[in-house]
Amino acid sequence: MTPTATAAGLARIPFLREAQDPGGPCLTGERHTLDNTGFANAVRRLAQRLAALGVEPGDNVAVLVPNCPEIVTTMFAAWFRASALTPINPALTDDEVRYQLEDSASTVVVGDERARRIAAEIDIAWVDVTSVHTRQLEPAPGGEPQADSHDFALVIYTGGTTGRPKGVLLDHANITAMSASLVDHFELTESDTSLLVLPLFHSNGLIAGVVSALSAGGDVVVAPRFSPATFWDLVEKHRPTYFSAVPTMYAMLDTRTDRVVDTSSLRFAICGAAPMPVDLLTRFERRFGVTIVEGYGLPEVSVASTINPVSGPRKPGTVGIPLPGQVVAVVSATGEHVPPGSRGEVIVRGPNVMRGYLGRPEETDRVLRDGWLHTGDIGAIDDDGYLRVVDSMKDIILRGGEHIHPPEIEGCLYRHPSVLEAAVVGRPDPILGEVPVAYVAAKPGLAITESELLAHCTAGLARYKVPAAFHVLTMLPRNSVGKLVKARLTEDVHG
């Protein structure tokens, strides 16, 4: 059973699956499993309830709850109504939640008691998340999904590490192109099972982890949270063929797994959100027998633009080749395409590129120019077409006229046997302008001193690249996706 989604057909995926394989597995959570018929009926019932609450085509439906299958059902029910889904990180403060609900003009929020309270404060409707999959005795209404290819499907808020988060507008055509590209690249079929451990309030989990698998005919297992203590139990129980994680998760699995695990079901694993140290990647692959493919993307491209091949040549230290249907290039500061191996800004073109930022036309125009998305990231493409992301333009440290790229220093720190995580930011200096400062977390059970780190960097880096200070922390600050939040470190060095 392989339902394929056309540009107007994402909302029809549950019903294509129901028609082709009614009793086939579809969506599994901590408490229950839905087959294709059960999932399609749950979507129909929730769509009817949304309609009764006044949700119209073009409205936004928010969801505020930790990872669970009900988020997936809510997404497809919103699409049934030709509405967009706004998934909200439950780790946000009430003020931050209110901001996203009001900025997105959401008309209803699906969630728990906290969501009910916040909904009452700003006078919008609320649906109890615990009722989404518990109305099995109610008749499922009929009707056809109303969404069209140019209707908005997702409003994904950026991390907000600098200023207020921006709502990235993705329409059905964006998501169809992105999911089809991933299905093609990974050769996904009805035999695949996605184990979802990334949060469902970001496009990676929703599109790469859910929509791509379901549109290929496969099924999805939603883990409530990532834990190195239970992760391999989930793999052995549910036998997934792939999962997506961030470098921190791989590092934790590597350092905190003390038994032999059965990974024979896994075809591959995806690593994104941040560069993965080559030593960690190769060690993890060798130890667990899992092929890891690194990729590069951001919400503005729906999910990803480049990923290393699963079956073709993989180049550790790169983020792979452009995904089908996308064009990735590197340009100079004046906009000219640079030759292979040369550094410049990474730009992307393709049907997966966002429609824009919600209510921010000037910021949209700044990043979408002449059909290209300007990412603000610095990279280089080699002769074989593999992209290596060097830095973010805003993270470069200018020390006395010398450009310093933090990933180069971080790479040196990662080569120290006791270092689990490393991050480098710029600190203002009255004479040099900026100097690099390093923050490091040691591996569990190991200790490391600032003098050791200084000696290690002095031996491996040019003098002007050696950090002016080292700070050893228990852990580095990260957002709920596991991505390092350097802005918090920058605030520290700025006092």
Query: pLDDT-based confidence at 89, cuts 50/70/90?
Result: confident
Is residue 245 within 8 A of residue 271, CB to CB? The reply is: yes
User: Exposed, middle or buried by CB within 10 Å (0-12, 13-18, 19+), for 137?
Assistant: exposed
Q: What are phi and psi of 225, to 5 degrees?
A: -165, 160
Is residue 407 within 8 A of residue 275, CB to CB? The reply is: yes
Find the range with the poorest average confidence among 316-320, 343-347, 394-398: 394-398
Rounded CA gap, 191 and 25, in Å? 11
Q: Mean pLDDT across the stretch 468-495?
A: 78
Element (H, E) at 48: helix 36-52
Q: Which residues of 33-67 are buried (b: 16+ CB within 10 A; e: fewer)?
A: ebbbbbbbbbbbbbbbbbbeeebeeebbbbbbbbb
Res 481 pLDDT > 70: no
| CA distances from residue 404 to 399, 408, 450 in whole angstroms, order as listed | 7, 8, 21
Is residue 195 within 8 A of residue 243, CB to CB? The reply is: yes
Beta pairing partners, 110 = 63, 127
Res 284 pLDDT > 90: yes
State the pLDDT at residue 137.
55
What is the CB-side half-sphere exposure of residue 368 using CA atoms within 13 A?
Answer: 19
Query: pLDDT-based confidence at 139, cuts 50/70/90?
Result: low
Cα angle 63-67-70, degrees, rounded to a multiple of 5:
55
pLDDT in tens, 34-82: 999 999 999 999 999 999 999 999 999 999 999 999 999 999 999 999 9
Rounded CA gap, 107 and 123, in Å? 9
3-state secondary structure of 29: coil
What is the CB-side half-sphere exposure of residue 433 using CA atoms within 13 A?
Answer: 10
| CA distances from residue 398 to 283, 440, 454, 464, 493 in whole angstroms, order as listed | 34, 21, 20, 11, 15
Count the residues in the chain: 495
Closest CA to 190 of 208, 228, 217: 217
What is the CB-side half-sphere exposure of residue 59 using CA atoms within 13 A?
Answer: 20
Phi-psi region at 138: left, alpha or beta (left = phi > 0; alpha = psi -120 to 50): beta
Distant-in-sequence, close-in-space partners of 395: CB < 8 Å, separation ≥ 6 = 406, 425, 426, 486
Rounded CA gap, 180 and 41, in Å? 25
Confidence (pTM): 0.82
State the pLDDT at residue 272.
84
Structure tokens at 126: 């609320």
State the pLDDT at residue 401.
56
Is residue 103 within 8 A of residue 167, CB to CB? The reply is: yes
Structure tokens at 320: 């792979």
In the chain the domains, ranked by start, together with CATH numbers, are 10-387 (3.40.50.12780), 396-493 (3.30.300.30)
Rounded CA gap, 19 and 144, in Å? 14
Query: pLDDT-based confidence at 161, cuts 50/70/90?
Result: very low
State the pLDDT at residue 429.
81
Element (H, E) at 258: none
Closest CA to 350 of 151, 177, 154, 176: 177
Distant-in-sequence, close-in-space partners of 61: CB < 8 Å, separation ≥ 6 = 50, 55, 74, 77, 78, 81, 83, 84, 85, 86, 106, 107, 108, 109, 110
Res 202 pLDDT > 90: no
